[in-house]
Amino acid sequence: MRTHALNQPLAVLGALSLAALTLTACGGTSAASDEKVVTVYSADGLKGENGDGWYDKVFKEFEKETGIKVKYVEGGSGEMVQRAVREKSNTQADVLVTLPPFIQQADAKGLLAAYEPKGADQVDAADKAPDAKWTSVVNNYFGFIYNKKRLADPPRTWEELLDPAYKEKIQYSTPGVAGDGTAVLIKAMHDFGGKEPAMEYLKRLQANNVGPSASTGKLAPKVDKGELLVANGDVQMNYAQSKDMPNLAIWFPAKGDGKPTSFALPYAAGLLAKAPHSENGKKLLDFLLSETAQRDVSAVGGGFAARKDIKATDANATELNGLLEGVEIFEPDWADIGTNLDTYIDAWKTATGS
């Protein structure tokens, strides 16, 4: 009897504890799945300086239609991937949007879950992962900007940027941290015919380079004000910025007498593995690729629709297509870049002393 008397409270306590744990677990799961929020980690460029960008409009419409609030965190492509890596054991975001090769890098690090958004069937195969880990939501191209007020004769070639007149008037974002900064390496290696000649050029350019910048988006205001004469960027972001920065002009460097070149640099989105609000993340990805959102890519965001069935005819689309006339578009070897990115970044650091 004594034994029974001693064990009974323990048994009751155990049962109550189990019930409490069960209720807590159910409550926690329900709260997580039912919470009306989705967190986005994104490369900069799609959110307007004055709240008038593509993200601003699309997120507002998404929140109104679904009741799901968008929490937005912005930074360089590499910075966003690094943050997601640090949080891998306790994932904080639901959707990741970066430029190549960082979306491929995120996939290689096991950060992304397979999900094919509605409308992804209208995205070209080259602009999405074959295993549905990511898909482009806004197409874009790499480019440079210059101050058209200060430079009556705009630069045309890489070689011109070595002129002493550009000393401390050139800046490009940091390769390995910013997607557009990494694109500088990709284009230079293509135009100069390999890693060694590209690094030799960038070593010489360093005499005129102001220094590193984690964010490409922060360079445009400096160019507009004349603090810089030339910086790197991308067509979508810089075209959108030019609406409020009248001295910006977009250009594409050529090597010597060759043609100006560029390559596609899309904003690619993926669902994060172990996302705390996975279903909300899927809904947002669907919305980003919806016909409504895609029709606003050029008219509002200054970019190119990711869906090939969207034929934009607005004034922005006409002007954007005009910017690319005469520009040779090449396709980088993303598999090679994804595999050897660290090697290329190290080579750049050695060449420039960065």
Give the mean model confidence (pLDDT) for residues 260-284: 97
Residues in the chain: 354
Beta bridge mates, 232: 144
d(CA 220, CA 224): 6
Q: What is the DSSP string of 152-175?
A: SS---BTGGGGSGGGTT-EE-PPB
Tracing tokens 């994104």 back to the chain, one arrives at 42
In the predicted model, is pLDDT for residue 216 greater than 50?
yes
Give the span between the Cα atoms of 249 and 233, in whole angstroms. Answer: 11
Q: Higher confidence at residue 10 or residue 309?
A: 309
pLDDT at 187 over 60: yes
Q: How confident is the model at residue 5 (pLDDT cuts 50, 70, 90)?
A: very low
Considering only CA atoms, which of 213, 241, 220, 76 is closest in space to residue 144?
Answer: 220
Nearest CA among 153, 267, 257 for reference residue 216 = 267
- Of 7-11, 99-103, 276-280, 350-354, the poorest mean pLDDT is in 7-11
Question: Residue 11: which residues within 8 A CB-CB, separation 6 or more?
Answer: none
> Is residue 6 over pLDDT 90?
no
Residue pair 43/289 in contact (Cβ under 8 Å)? The answer is no
Position 319 scores a pLDDT of 95
pLDDT surpassing 70 at residue 32: no
Any idea what the Cα angle at residue 235 is, between residues 207 and 146, rounded to 5°?
40
Give the model confidence (pLDDT) of 306-318 as tens digits.
999 999 999 999 9
Q: Contact at 8 Å (CB) between 50 and 74?
A: no
Burial 250-268 (b: 16+ CB within 10 A, else e): bbbbbbeeeebbbbbbbbb
Region 213-224 average pLDDT: 94
Give the C-alpha separation, 266 to 66, whole Å.
26
Tokens of 278: 């996975």
pLDDT at site 197: 98
CA 324 to chain centre: 21
Contact 160, 251 (CB under 8 A): no
The candidate with the shortest Cα–Cα distance to 75, out of 102, 98, 100, is 98
Q: Which residue has the tokens 């064990």?
A: 7
Answer yes or no: is pLDDT of 9 > 80. no
Percent of the chain with pLDDT over 90: 84
pLDDT at site 24: 35
Which of 44-48, 270-274, 350-354 has the least mean pLDDT?
44-48
Per-residue pLDDT tens over the stretch 68-100: 999 999 998 999 999 999 999 999 999 999 999
Q: Across the chain, what does the average pLDDT equal? A: 90
What kind and span of H or E run contains 218? Answer: none
> Among 311, 306, 269, which Cα is nearest to 129's?
269
Residue 34: pLDDT band by 50, 70, 90 thresholds?
low
Instruction: Provide the β-strand partners of residue 261.
Output: 328
pLDDT band of 152, cuts 50, 70, 90:
confident
pLDDT band at residue 64 using 50, 70 and 90 as cut-offs: very high
Summarize the confidence of residues 169-181 as an average pLDDT. Answer: 94
CB atoms closer than 10 angstroms to residue 117: 24
For the ranges 12-26, 31-45, 152-166, the maximum mean pLDDT occurs at 152-166
What's the distance, CA 80 to chain centroid? 9
Quickly state the pLDDT bin for 7 (edges 50, 70, 90): very low
Handedness of CA 305, 311, 314, 318 (dihedral sign): positive
Give the pLDDT of residue 241: 93
